[in-house]
Amino acid sequence: MTTSSRFPYAELQAAPRSPIKPRHKTREVAVGSRVFGGNNPIWVQSMTTTDTFDVEATVAQIRALEEAGCELVRVTVPKAQDAHALSAIRQRIDIPLICDIHFDYKMALMALDHPVDKIRINPGNIGGYDRFRQVVRKAKDRGIPMRIGVNAGSLEHELIEKYGYPCPPAMVESALRYLEIAEAEGYHSIIVSLKSSDPATAVESYRLFAKYADYPTHIGITEAGKPPYAITKSAAGLAPILMDGIGDTIRVSLLGDPVPEVAAAFDILQATGRRVRRPELIACPTCGRLAIDLEKIIAELEKRLEGRRLPVKISVLGCVVNGPGEAREADIGIAAGNGKGVIFRNGEIVRHVLEAEMVDALLEEVAHWEQEQRQKGTLKLEDEKPTRTRLPVVSA
Ramachandran bin of 188, using left for φ above 0, alpha for ψ from -120 to 50, beta for the remaining angles: alpha
Q: Strand 348-354 to strand 340-345: parallel, antiparallel, or no bridges (unpaired)?
A: antiparallel
Q: In the chain, how many domains are there? A: 2
Decide which of 222 and 37 is more confident: 37
Q: Give the pLDDT confidence score for residue 23 in this predicted structure.
A: 94
End-to-end CA distance of the chain: 24
Three-state secondary-structure class, residue 21: coil
Do the domain assignments include residue 21? no
Largest CA distance in the chain: 77
Q: Give the pLDDT confidence score for residue 124 in this predicted structure.
A: 82
Decide which of 167 and 381 is more confident: 167
Of the CA atoms within 13 Å of residue 211, those in its CB half-sphere come to: 9
**Residue 254 sits in the same domain as residue 285:** no
Q: Region 167-175: what's the mean pLDDT? A: 96
Do the domain assignments include residue 40? yes
Tens-digit pLDDT profile for residues 296-354: 888 999 999 998 888 888 988 876 655 566 666 788 988 887 888 888 887 788 889 88
Three-state secondary-structure class, residue 44: strand
Give the residue among 150, 277, 135, 137 at the shortest CA–CA distance from 217: 150
Q: Give the pLDDT confidence score for residue 344 in this predicted structure.
A: 86
What's the mean pLDDT when you consider all of the chain?
Answer: 89
**Residue 290 sits in the same domain as residue 161:** no
**Residue 164 sits in the same domain as residue 310:** no
Decide which of 326 and 119 is more confident: 119
Do the domain assignments include residue 19? no
The whole domain housing 131 covers 29-271
Do the domain assignments include residue 107? yes
Tens-digit pLDDT profile for residues 63-88: 999 999 999 999 999 999 999 999 99
Label residue 40 by pLDDT band (50, 70, 90).
very high
Q: Give the pLDDT confidence score for residue 384 in this predicted structure.
A: 41
Domain's final residue, options 271, 299, 332: 271
Domain's final residue, options 271, 302, 322: 271
- Does residue 143 have a pLDDT over 80? yes
Beta-bridge partners for 100: 76, 120
CA distance linking residue 89 with residue 74, whole number of Å: 11
**Residue 232 sits in the same domain as residue 304:** no
**Residue 52 sits in the same domain as residue 177:** yes
- Does residue 160 have a pLDDT over 60? yes
Q: Region 353-380: what's the mean pLDDT? A: 87
**Residue 267 sits in the same domain as residue 284:** no
Do the domain assignments include residue 127? yes
**Residue 365 sits in the same domain as residue 295:** yes
CATH number at residue 185: 3.20.20.20
**Residue 71 sits in the same domain as residue 220:** yes
Four-point Cα dihedral 105, 106, 111, 113, nearest 10:
130
Domain's final residue, options 233, 252, 271: 271
Do the domain assignments include residue 313? yes
CATH number at residue 362: 3.30.413.10
Do the domain assignments include residue 133? yes
Beta-bridge partners for 223: none
CA distance linking residue 227 with residue 79, whole number of Å: 30
**Residue 250 sits in the same domain as residue 304:** no
Residues in Cβ contact with 302 at an 8 Å cutoff, skipping those fewer than 6 apart:
281
CA distance linking residue 396 with residue 378, whole number of Å: 28
**Residue 80 sits in the same domain as residue 181:** yes
Do the domain assignments include residue 341? yes
Instruction: For 48, list phi and psi in degrees, rounded to 5.
Output: -75, 160
Label residue 20 by pLDDT band (50, 70, 90).
confident
CA distances from 355 to 91, 300, 302 (A): 53, 13, 17
- Does residue 394 have a pLDDT over 60? no
